[in-house]
């Protein structure tokens, strides 16, 4: 079954311990949505995925990785 993993927690840490709220404000969603994405409970739309990668200044596949097991 395909899996999508993300490195948002790590990227937030690298960005000076950016809080979930800060990231949520930057990309225009609620803190709960960031939490759900980090925990792999919710998969964002492409639009939001790109906004998250831009917020960290990294390419999309540095944030999300797709595993086709």
The footprint of other proteins (CB under 8 A) covers: 28-33, 35-36, 39, 41-42, 44-45, 47-48
- Considering the complex, state which of residue 9 and residue 14 has its C-beta at the smaller distance from other proteins: 9
Q: List the alpha helices (DSSP H) in the chain.
A: 8-14, 20-27, 31-38, 46-56, 60-63
Tell me how far, at minimum, the Cβ of 28 lies from other proteins, in Å: 7
Sequence length of the chain is 69
- Considering the complex, state which of residue 15 and residue 48 has its C-beta at the smaller distance from other proteins: 48
- Considering the complex, state which of residue 32 and residue 65 has its C-beta at the smaller distance from other proteins: 32
Written as six digits, the tokens of 2 are 């395909």
Written as six digits, the tokens of 16 are 């000076």
């Amino acid at each position: 079954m395909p899996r999508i993993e993300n490195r948002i927690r790590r990227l937030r840490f690298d960005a000076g311990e950016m809080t979930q709220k800060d990231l949520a404000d930057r990309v225009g969603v609620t803190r709960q949505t960031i939490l759900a994405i980090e925990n792999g409970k919710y998969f964002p739309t492409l639009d939001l995925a790109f906004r998250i990668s831009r917020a960290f200044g990294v390419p999309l596949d540095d944030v999300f990785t797709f595993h086709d097991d």
